[in-house]
Structure 1
């Protein structure tokens, strides 16, 4: 049986955040109290992956080099695989995936439009940064949902096939000082919008009283972001 690129067996990616066991019981409990209801968690996580897939496929059309098209196709396939995995969990809950995702379409599409750069390289960096930070965030959030959350964590922990994307971006940055400056500034703009998406995924009524409880998670997200930027030769 032939397997398409998104169906190939893939290694699990190494988590950028510390494992749930290293976060500590108090922090996990506090974060769980801010976690949204399960359907909200699943709907947003699934739609985010679909958005990554859509943006990457658009970038394929805008990219003339064949090797870069292949790299983007692999990353798009990984996002689609994660999307489908979460949809399967939603269906097993007896829910309609379209209905579960629909409330978040407008908001997350608006976020994705804000991360579309004037140039394909800016958009490629945006996908790499936002997907990395939000996958890490939802991995941390998944610990609030027992066995179902563990299954989502397994899906989000799969290899995202972005290794070649990092290589493409690093070569671009190393080739021209203006690209380095431009992409550094663009990356800094993306962080605020991405953290806002993460914040809005939580129980907003609890954030007003207990917002400081999520700060340690934001600290971890920023640490992982800094490591991604370092890998490309950019300062966070």
Structure 2
């Protein structure tokens, strides 16, 4: 669940770059990381729906899960079009993503909603930042997958309604949100640096420009700023 962040693009990228095996590997890494994230999001939403307090909330979860599955299909279809095996493309990111979910297992439905909106939102912002460094077709796919389809409004309205009913839960959820931001940024850093090809999209490679240290610093400031905005929308302190 992610809000739309400001777009930054690098017009020197085009589809011909995919003939470069190093760049193609980086794109496969990016799509593989996103695909596994969508697969896990689908599974998590389906699981969390069992904790939903009403049938209407459960139905909303089902709709959101279907959206994640659609995104997963879009990404795996593109990987196959690049002659890449989707399972092999996802495999390098299984440990990092699974570790994040293991460390941030929610104890109830509301924590699950905050995690889906805040925790997943940070990860999605990170991928949106990386998409600034890829060719237009790949960037378009990434932004399509990360586009909000009502997930944010659902999470915000449900959490705010719960707080109105019992203001005491706000403190607990605020602490939960602050924990999530640290874990999510750690996950983003781990995904970004453990794969050389994916890291090359950010820091550059021979023949391809990337972000300098100052820009990388600004990127993580933007991630934190977007987190604060999400917490504010939920009615929680960041």
Count of aligned pairs: 211
User: What is the alpha-carbon distance in structure 1 between the residues aligned to residue 85 and residue 93 of structure 2?
Assistant: 14
- Quote the residue 1:193 is aligned against: 183
Q: Which moved more, 1:156-165 or 1:80-89?
A: 156-165
- Quote the residue 1:37 is aligned against: 26
| Contact 2:163 2:170 (C-alpha < 8 Å) held by counterparts | yes
State which of 61, 66, 70 in structure 2 corresponds to 1:77: 66
**Secondary structure class of the residue paired with 2:192:** coil
| Contact 1:78 1:159 (C-alpha < 8 Å) held by counterparts | no
State which of 110, 119, 124 in structure 1 corresponds to 2:113: 124
State which of 171, 180, 200 in structure 1 corresponds to 2:161: 171
- Quote the residue 1:203 is aligned against: 193
Is 1:67 matched up with 2:56? yes
Could you tell me which runs of 5 or more consecutive residues in structure 1 were left unpaired when the two chains were aligned. 1-12, 26-35
| Contact 1:39 1:100 (C-alpha < 8 Å) held by counterparts | yes
| Contact 2:7 2:132 (C-alpha < 8 Å) held by counterparts | no
Is 1:134 matched up with 2:136? no
**1:107 and 1:157, CA in 2 relative to 1: closer, same or farther beyond 3 A?**
closer
User: What is the alpha-carbon distance in structure 2 between the residues aligned to residue 132 and residue 141 of structure 1?
Assistant: 14
- Quote the residue 1:88 is aligned against: 77
Q: Which moved more, 1:189-198 or 1:119-128?
A: 119-128
- Quote the residue 1:235 is aligned against: 237
Q: Which moved more, 1:118-127 or 1:144-153?
A: 144-153
**1:78 and 1:65, CA in 2 relative to 1: closer, same or farther beyond 3 A?**
same
User: What is the alpha-carbon distance in structure 2 between the residues aligned to residue 154 and residue 72 of structure 1?
Assistant: 22
- Quote the residue 2:206 is aligned against: none
| Contact 1:71 1:165 (C-alpha < 8 Å) held by counterparts | no
Give how far 1:213 is off. 3.6
Q: Deviations over 1:112-145 (max 9, x none)?
A: 1222122221122111112211112111101212
Give how far 1:203 is off. 3.5
Give how far 1:14 is off. 5.8
- Quote the residue 1:155 is aligned against: 144
- TM-score relative to the length of structure 2: 0.80
User: What is the alpha-carbon distance in structure 2 between the residues aligned to residue 189 and residue 228 of structure 1?
Assistant: 14
User: What is the alpha-carbon distance in structure 1 between the residues aligned to residue 124 and residue 74 of structure 2?
Assistant: 14
Could you tell me which runs of 5 or more consecutive residues in structure 2 were left unpaired when the two chains were aligned. 13-24, 204-211
| Contact 2:48 2:109 (C-alpha < 8 Å) held by counterparts | yes
Q: Deviations over 1:137-182 (max 9, x none)?
A: 1111012121343233332343333122221111112222321010
Give how far 1:64 is off. 4.0
Q: Which moved more, 1:196-205 or 1:226-235?
A: 196-205
